[in-house]
Amino acid sequence: ETGVTQTPRHLVMGMTNKKSLKCEQHLGHNAMYWYKQSAKKPLELMFVYSLEERVENNSVPSRFSPECPNSSHLFLHLHTLQPEDSALYLCASSQVQGARGYTFGSGTRLTVV
Amino acid sequence: KQEVTQIPAALSVPEGENLVLNCSFTDSAIYNLQWFRQDPGKGLTSLLLIQSSQREQTSGRLNASLDKSSGRSTLYIAASQPGDSATYLCAVSSQGGKLIFGQGTELSVKP
């Protein structure tokens, strides 16, 4: 375990479903991130939360909705997804600005059918 | 816009060889550079973190160097083992806490 825990590890959902991904860290970090990893593509930064404020939204479709209720928890709410949204979703945390590096969770493998 | 490139995309070597993975980035205004390992279908494991003021970091058989002015980093793996087989990712941290990744080098070490 890296100190960043993601649940569930695997998720299969239909295009009309609503589901949520959860990320939790107890490393004392104050910034959290969602990344998407599709096959044969570099990791894509989706959202950045710093001190519980969203500071980055990389043109992500509104069917992805992040939530950061406190510095230890991060959610990604999913609704009306498309098959092309199937990917590995990775959560990461760091100190603000990443000065001491980033710690990643094991990811949620999402399949949209 | 920061871009990170890793060469080669894939590498296959016999066990015991020393090898070098390359990473280049276009904007030298970075806070740090981090090398990660990713096993198939898994998350990322941090290997080495080099701050922008540092030239290299070592951990066991791994050594990473950083030349910020030329926008390059290398990851040196000594005496490679089959257990080193994985994808190796280079990422640079820039203003705003963004971590930008290369596409990775897929390493296969044959027994």
Q: How much is the mean pLDDT over chain B? A: 94
Would you call B57 an interface residue with chain A, using a CB distance cutoff of 8 Å? no
- The size of chain A, in residues, is 113
Question: What pLDDT is attached to residue A1?
Answer: 66
What are the Cα distances from residue A78, in Å, to A19, A20, A50, A82, B74?
A: 5, 6, 21, 10, 38
Cα–Cα separations (whole angstroms), residue A26 to A3, A32, A48, A93, A109: 6, 12, 18, 10, 22
Nearest to B45 by CA among B53, B57, B36: B36
The whole-angstrom distance between B14's CA and the closest CA on chain A is 24
Nearest chain A residue to B89, by CA: A42
Q: What is the mean pLDDT of residues B61-90?
A: 97
Average of pLDDT values for A25-38? 93
Q: What does the alpha-carbon distance between residue A23 and residue A98 come to, in Å, rounded to a whole number? A: 18
pLDDT over 90 (residue A37): yes
| Among B28, B7, B20, CA closest to B92 | B28
Q: How many contacts does A have with B, using Cβ atoms within 8 A? A: 73
Query: Backbone phi, then psi, for B88, in 5-degree steps?
Result: -110, 125
Tell me if chain A has a CB within 8 Å of the CB of B45. Answer: yes
Nearest CA to B7 among B55, B73, B57?
Answer: B73
Q: Is B32 on the interface with A (CB under 8 A)?
A: yes
Is residue A102 less than 8 Å (CB to CB) from chain B? yes
**Per-residue confidence band for B96, with pLDDT thresholds at 50, 70 and 90:** low
